[in-house]
Structure 1
Amino acid sequence: MFGNKVTAGRTTASVDGDAVVLLIGMRINHFWAVHHWFPVLTAMPRMLRELSRAPERGLLGHVLLTASPRTYYVVQYWESKEKLYAYAHAPDMFHRRAWAIVNRKEKAGKARQHVGLWHETYVVPEGSYESIYADMPAFGLAAAHGQVAVERRGRSAKERFAYKSGTTR
């Protein structure tokens, strides 16, 4: 999802308004229980493909990360928490079916702690985030929301934190 074309100089993310960030991941608790954790591992790429085909659902960008050989997660950037919730609860989307399977396994006692799941959602109000990228391709917030010259939002972190939508520099 992120490009490789380097943007020369210093840039910042072109976010207007709040930033919605979802961290979601899994931890393999028992490597030998492949039949429990492999479907979970492959579910996220399937959901990301589904969302990439439906940009109106609100996913702006994502980064797949590995924290350790047993822990994997995704940083996702969303248009709004409402669109994130709508996707999570949409009966026609894969997330709803995948979560129903997880819940059924837990209720039937078949999960047995082989795989752990987690997520954290943050709605970061405007004026409470800032970013800077130096000689980087668009990444993170900048890939999700666009990239602008740093001077448009402020030369210092303090100025970028103070930036409000609709103001110009």
Structure 2
Amino acid sequence: MATTPVAERVTTAAEGDVVVFLIGMRINRWRSVRHWLPVLLAMPRMLKELGRAQDDGLLGHQGYASGPRAFTVVQYWESREKLLAYAAAPDREHRPAWAAFNRRVRSGAGSVGIWHETFLVPAGSYEAIYHAMPPTGLGRAYGVEPVARRGERAADRLAGQ
């Protein structure tokens, strides 16, 4: 991951539709480590697996601590179809992790929670600008280009897609 800020104003080089997948977990009971630790450790395994196979469709991701007990990963996918195919693939990390989580939920009495949201963003409905930032978000997933290529104002960039 690039950590050097790009000095000029840039925007994402994304073309067409964008698939954004948000997924997170919340530790509801700190003492129930046996319930939440496997959930916490499952996501890095999935991201590592997806990073090794470029044709799976994951273009980029960023993780965040969204509170003292909550964690979120923002993912950018090539297509809805590739996201759903990965989620359903019986020979990939997700399916066993999901089955294990469901077993754990029954015995964990709410010790850990998970959530996800999927956004299918049509071309022309997203916009981005980065200034003095390393590639981040859509820019990291799709690459960046000079802002002038898409318009100086947000309204120009949204209209030009």
Question: What is the match of residue 157 of structure 2?
Answer: 160
Question: What is the match of residue 18 of structure 1?
Answer: 17
CA distance in structure 2 between the partners assigned to 1:147 and 1:60 by the alignment: 13
Question: What is the match of residue 9 of structure 1?
Answer: 8
Alignment of 1:29-44 (within 5 A): 29-44=28-43
CA distance in structure 1 between the partners assigned to 2:46 and 2:101 by the alignment: 15
Structure 1: give runs of 5+ residues left out of the alignment.
165-169
RMSD: 0.9
CA distance in structure 1 between the partners assigned to 2:27 and 2:38 by the alignment: 11
**Residue type of the alignment partner of 2:27:** I
**Residue type of the alignment partner of 2:31:** W
**Residue type of the alignment partner of 2:35:** H
CA distance in structure 2 between the partners assigned to 1:162 and 1:151 by the alignment: 14
Question: What is the match of residue 79 of structure 2?
Answer: 80
CA distance in structure 2 between the partners assigned to 1:153 and 1:82 by the alignment: 28
Q: Is 1:51 the counterpart of 2:38 in the alignment?
A: no
CA distance in structure 2 between the partners assigned to 1:73 and 1:139 by the alignment: 15
Structure 2: give runs of 5+ residues left out of the alignment.
none
CA distance in structure 2 between the partners assigned to 1:60 and 1:35 by the alignment: 32
SS in 2 for 1:161: helix
How far off its partner does 1:103 sit?
Answer: 2.0
CA distance in structure 2 between the partners assigned to 1:50 and 1:42 by the alignment: 13
Percent identity reads: 54
